[in-house]
Structure 1
Amino acid sequence: MRPDSWHLTEDLDDFLARAGDFLCSRPALHTTPLTTVEKLRTRGADAFGPGTTVFGRLEAGGEVRAVFLRPPTRRLTLTALSPAQADALAAHLVGLGHSPSGVLSDHDTATAFAEAWQRHTGAEPVRSWGARLHRLAALTPPERVPAGRGRLVGQREHEHLMRWCREFAADVGEDVTIDAASWAGTRFAEKRYTYWETQDGTPVSMAGANPLVGGQVRIDPVYTPVPLRGRGYAGAVTVEVSRAALAAGATEVVLFTDPANPTSNALYRRIGYVPLADFTGYDFTHTGRQP
Structure 2
Amino acid sequence: MAWELTDDLESFMTVAEAHLRSRPVEHTVLLTLVETLRRRGLTAYGKEAPVFGAWRDHNGVVSGVLLQTPPHPVLFGEVPPSAVTDAVNAFGGRSLPGVNLPVPLVDLFVGPWVARTGATPGVRMRTRLYRLSALESPSGSTRPGESGDRALLLGWVRDFLADIGESVEDVEAVVDDALADGVVTLGLAAGAPTSMVMRTLPSAGVVRIRYVFTPVALRGRGYAGAATAAACAAALADGASEVVLFTDLDNPTSNGLYQRLGFRPVQDRTVVTFG
TM-score computed with the length of structure 2 as normaliser: 0.90
Give the fraction of aligned pairs with identical amino acids, expressed as a percent. 40
CA distance, structure 1, for counterparts of residue 12 and residue 107 of structure 2: 25
Tell me which residue corresponds to 1:63: 61
Q: For residues 80 and 125 of structure 1, do their structure 2 counterparts lie closer, same or farther at Cα, with a shift above 3 Å needed?
A: farther
Q: 1:205 deviation in Å?
A: 1.5
1:271 to 2:268 alignment: no
CA distance, structure 1, for counterparts of residue 149 and residue 95 of structure 2: 42
Q: Deviations over 1:100-127 (max 9, x none)?
A: 2211122222332112211222222211
Tell me which residue corresponds to 1:283: 273
1:158 to 2:150 alignment: yes
The one of 224, 248, 251 aligned to 1:261: 251
Tell me which residue corresponds to 1:288: none
1:8 to 2:30 alignment: no
Secondary structure of 1:254's match? strand
AA partner of residue 194 (structure 1): T
1:106 to 2:102 alignment: yes
- How many residue pairs get aligned? The number is 270
CA distance, structure 2, for counterparts of residue 189 and residue 115 of structure 1: 41
Tell me which residue corresponds to 1:197: 188
Matches within 5 A, 1:138-217: 138-142=134-138, 145-146=139-140, 148=141, 150-174=142-166, 176=167, 182-184=170-172, 190-191=177-178, 192-198=183-189, 200-217=190-207
CA distance, structure 1, for counterparts of residue 194 and residue 220 of structure 2: 11
TM-score computed with the length of structure 1 as normaliser: 0.85
Task: Tell whether the 8 Å contact from 2:136 to 2:262 is kept in structure 1 after alignment.
Answer: yes
CA distance, structure 1, for counterparts of residue 242 and residue 203 of structure 2: 10
Query: Alignment RMSD, CA only?
Result: 2.0
Tell me which residue corresponds to 1:89: 87
AA partner of residue 158 (structure 2): R
CA distance, structure 2, for counterparts of residue 23 and residue 113 of structure 1: 21
Task: Tell whether the 8 Å contact from 1:23 to 1:214 is kept in structure 2 after alignment.
Answer: no
CA distance, structure 2, for counterparts of residue 85 and residue 124 of structure 1: 23
Q: 1:78 deviation in Å?
A: 0.7
Task: Tell whether the 8 Å contact from 1:58 to 1:64 is kept in structure 2 after alignment.
Answer: yes
Task: Tell whether the 8 Å contact from 1:8 to 1:55 is kept in structure 2 after alignment.
Answer: yes
CA distance, structure 1, for counterparts of residue 95 and residue 22 of structure 2: 29
Secondary structure of 1:123's match? coil
Larger C-alpha radius of gyration, 1 or 2? 1
Tell me which residue corresponds to 2:75: 77
Task: Tell whether the 8 Å contact from 1:115 to 1:125 is kept in structure 2 after alignment.
Answer: no
Q: Deviations over 1:76-113 (max 9, x none)?
A: 1112334433222102321xx32222111222223321
Unmatched tracts of structure 2, length 5 or more = none
CA distance, structure 2, for counterparts of residue 83 and residue 123 of structure 1: 22
Q: Higher helix share goes to which structure?
A: 2
AA partner of residue 249 (structure 2): P
Tell me which residue corresponds to 1:17: 14
CA distance, structure 2, for counterparts of residue 252 and residue 116 of structure 1: 36
CA distance, structure 2, for counterparts of residue 204 and residue 74 of structure 1: 31
Task: Tell whether the 8 Å contact from 1:27 to 1:252 is kept in structure 2 after alignment.
Answer: no
